[in-house]
Amino acid sequence: MAVTLRDVARAAGVSAATASRALSAPHLVAPERRELVRRVARDLGYQPNRAARELITGRSGHLCLVVPDLENPFFSAVAKAVQARARTAGHAVVVADAEEDPVLEAELVAQLGAQADGVLLCSPRMSADDLAQVASVGRPVLLVNREGAGLPSVAVDNRDGVRQAVRHLHALGHRRVAYAGGPVGSWSDARRRDGLAALDLDVEVLDLGAHAPVFAGGVAAADLALATGATAVLTHNDLMALGVLDRMRTRGVRVPDDVSVVGFDDAPVATLVTPSLTTVAMPLARLGRTAVDLLLSPGDGDVPHVVLPVELAVRASTAPAPSHPPEPR
Amino acid sequence: MAVTLRDVARAAGVSAATASRALSAPHLVAPERRELVRRVARDLGYQPNRAARELITGRSGHLCLVVPDLENPFFSAVAKAVQARARTAGHAVVVADAEEDPVLEAELVAQLGAQADGVLLCSPRMSADDLAQVASVGRPVLLVNREGAGLPSVAVDNRDGVRQAVRHLHALGHRRVAYAGGPVGSWSDARRRDGLAALDLDVEVLDLGAHAPVFAGGVAAADLALATGATAVLTHNDLMALGVLDRMRTRGVRVPDDVSVVGFDDAPVATLVTPSLTTVAMPLARLGRTAVDLLLSPGDGDVPHVVLPVELAVRASTAPAPSHPPEPR
DNA sequence: TTGTAGGCGTTATCAT
DNA sequence: ATGATAACGCCTACAA
């Protein structure tokens, strides 16, 4: 059996109550006894029993992180940062993969969230109604990378990301830019379209519609882009941008000579491909850290909506616009 | 306050004990009452309090997964599978990222593992002594992707992976193959070298030494490989293989025409680059699932060491050997 | 088959 | 400043 608080108390010659206080409310105990108890606890290798503590305090020391797909580099980066920050705050992280399934997502929040001190929810496509439903767990829920349902949130500045990307292309002489959007219902995709609509640049934006946010989606979008005569393509994320790169190569279109390509996310793979990918870098680690801080900080009344800045990472996939529209050969 | 077992019992007109049994030992309760209680519980949205249950049973319903780096696609794939399997087994997963730090690794196992029903440890480079030390938590510990310290384990057949890779290259006519190894102390790297030493093929293996298992490590290895006149390079993992591809391109060496490249892992990125990467595919999902099954199954006496088969995924980065050794230009 | 009662390890309350 | 005592929610002998 593990060493218990009573063992420590007995060894230190004090009551269990004093031992408890010496460890978790030190200022309430006389200095000598406090140090005595703490030393004895250390020597005995005492570790408080989380279950017993939770039973009385109602706090488990666990945070629950729900993501659509742990294998997606975007979410694994967030998960890593969340885990690290939570640890320094004395919390463990229970991770749940919702497998891109909104129903499972709701179940997970209900089951796991109920036993955690708070829930970090990455749910790009859940409707506001479902969000509100889900958020009725008795625990604080914080949205990561989206806003909605009046819940606290941490997101990135998607509109500015789009602005930076298009401004970069405009400066390179591009005047026709195609946008390959993400899945229907994606909150961040909606914000990016807001950004495109609000541009005050002399640039024609061609909407290529909604696509699966994966390699194949980019492949499909590439053909559409070429048909529009655009000299640059902006995609919903980096995986799609890779699909565009691949398809362009297949069709004999050179990147960046004939067509420039800009992605979103700055996934690790962005620097591993040729040409390396110009992309809107998301502060994923900061996103995760901020989420934890906000969830654990005592809510001072109003609901926080933090928006983090993004930064365009210019690499080899963008170059000055060609004098003539690209022609596949 | 959440609905408690007593609430259910009261609503169903039975004692708390009967309610408890109806839910967690159904065969001990008369059918009618059992169904009544279960229905009432469902209607009230009863969820057992894990802390209370743990306090008495000693089981928390949590598994602890420790990995060196959550952002590494290898481990995020394992984590995803572990999470999914654990969930179906009624367990939540506490994930801990050790940040490639053996000291932190040990701490995490000690702290988090002590409050979990078991620990899944991915620790490619920890020494056997440290493993034994770490494993002295009061909970079952299972090693993932390595063996050691007499602990139960699930690993993949690294030796066979090497064999398959070299056999493939041999069949393509390659007779000089360079091996770019992973970090010193890596268990799987050691097994792969065993595999290389045990080959019964007419192939000369050139050892390029140990490298960081990342893109840059591959870049460095590429130059070494060219200096040996090898016509094929086998790398410790896919990230390194990508580094080799990049460096070969920079130096004007064509892949696969001049040099063939084979990676290890079959990371998602393997199909996203050009040329797509021939690589030894690891059954990562199966690795995670098997690990959970083994950890939760009642140990039937002897310590299990499961070895999962690997499979060579042949793609575009390997081709018949050139008639002359590659010459950078 | 069902109910009663005790206790798991900790913190909070209330005396002292 | 300290100690005795009562919870927290659940499970499980034991008794009926």
The strand C neighbours among A residues 39-98, by Cβ under 7 Å, are 46, 48-49, 52-53, 55-57
Residues B174 and B258 in one domain: yes
DSSP SS3 for B234: strand
Asked if residue A320 is part of any domain, the answer here is no
The secondary structure of B235-288 as a DSSP string is ESSHHHHHHHHHHHHHTT--TTTT-EEEEEE--GGGGTSSSPPEEEE--HHHHH
Residues B142 and B186 in one domain: no
Asked if residue B195 is part of any domain, the answer here is yes
Q: pLDDT digit string (tens) for A178-237?
A: 999 999 999 999 999 999 999 999 999 999 999 999 999 999 999 999 999 999 999 999
Residues B267 and B292 in one domain: no
The answer to whether A119 and A139 have CB atoms below 8 angstroms apart is: yes
Q: Where does residue A297 rank: exposed (0-12), middle (13-18), buried (19+ CB within 10 A)?
A: exposed
Quote the pLDDT of residue A327. 78
Asked if residue B144 has pLDDT above 90, the reply is yes
Asked if residue B328 is part of any domain, the answer here is no
User: In whole angstroms, what is the distance from residue A62 CA to residue A135 CA?
Assistant: 17
User: In whole angstroms, what is the distance from residue B75 CA to residue B67 CA?
Assistant: 7
Asked if residue B244 is part of any domain, the answer here is yes
Asked if residue B322 is part of any domain, the answer here is no
Q: pLDDT digit string (tens) for B247-296?
A: 999 999 999 999 999 999 999 889 988 899 999 999 999 999 999 999 99
Maximum distance among all alpha carbons in chain A? 87
Q: Are B60 and A51 inside 8 Å of each other by CB?
A: yes
CATH assignment of the domain containing B293: 3.40.50.2300
CATH assignment of the domain containing B49: 1.10.260.40
Quote the pLDDT of residue A276. 94
Q: pLDDT digit string (tens) for B33-67?
A: 999 999 999 999 999 999 999 999 999 999 999 99
Residues A229 and A130 in one domain: no
Tokens 């036993």, residue? A115
User: In whole angstroms, what is the distance from residue A206 CA to residue A199 CA?
Assistant: 13
Residues B94 and B198 in one domain: no
In chain A, the DSSP E strands lie at 62-67, 92-97, 118-121, 141-144, 153-156, 176-181, 204-210, 232-235, 260-265, 278-281, 305-308, 311-313
pLDDT exceeding 70 applies to what percent of chain B? 99
Residues A67 and A126 in one domain: yes
User: In whole angstroms, what is the distance from residue A13 CA to residue A286 CA?
Assistant: 47
Interatomic separation, CA of residue B38 and C1' of nucleotide D13, rounded (Å):
24
Quote the pLDDT of residue B329. 65
Asked if residue A326 is part of any domain, the answer here is no
Q: Select from B232, B241, B183, B234 the least CA-distant residue to B212.
A: B183
Residues B256 and B181 in one domain: yes
Q: Select from B68, B260, B264, B76 the least CA-distant residue to B158.
A: B264
Tally of domains in chain B: 3
Quote the pLDDT of residue B70. 95
Q: Does residue B133 belong to the interface with chain A, where contact is any CB pair within 8 Å? A: no
Residues B170 and B275 in one domain: yes
The answer to whether B321 and B173 have CB atoms below 8 angstroms apart is: yes
Handedness of CA B74, B77, B80, B82 (dihedral sign): negative
Beta bridge partners of A308: A156
Q: pLDDT digit string (tens) for A90-106?
A: 999 999 999 989 999 99
Residues B164 and B277 in one domain: yes
Q: Does residue B60 belong to the interface with chain A, where contact is any CB pair within 8 Å? A: yes
Asked if residue B216 is part of any domain, the answer here is yes
Residues B164 and B137 in one domain: no
Residue A215's domain spans which residues?
A: 158-283
Residues B76 and B149 in one domain: yes
Handedness of CA A73, A74, A75, A80 (dihedral sign): positive
Average pLDDT over every residue of A20-46: 93
Chain C bases having any atom below 7 Å from a protein CB: 1-13
Residues B149 and B289 in one domain: yes
Confidence band for B95, pLDDT divided at 50, 70 and 90: very high
Asked if residue A321 is part of any domain, the answer here is no
Asked if residue A114 has pLDDT above 80, the reply is yes
Beta bridge partners of B120: B65, B142
Beta bridge partners of B63: B93, B118
Q: Where does residue B99 rank: exposed (0-12), middle (13-18), buried (19+ CB within 10 A)?
A: middle
Indicate yes or no: pTM above 0.75. yes
The whole-angstrom distance between residue B191's C-alpha and the CA centroid of its chain comes to 16
Name the A residues in 213-272 with CB < 8 Å from any B CB: 215, 239, 242, 246, 249, 268-269, 271-272
DSSP SS3 for B8: helix
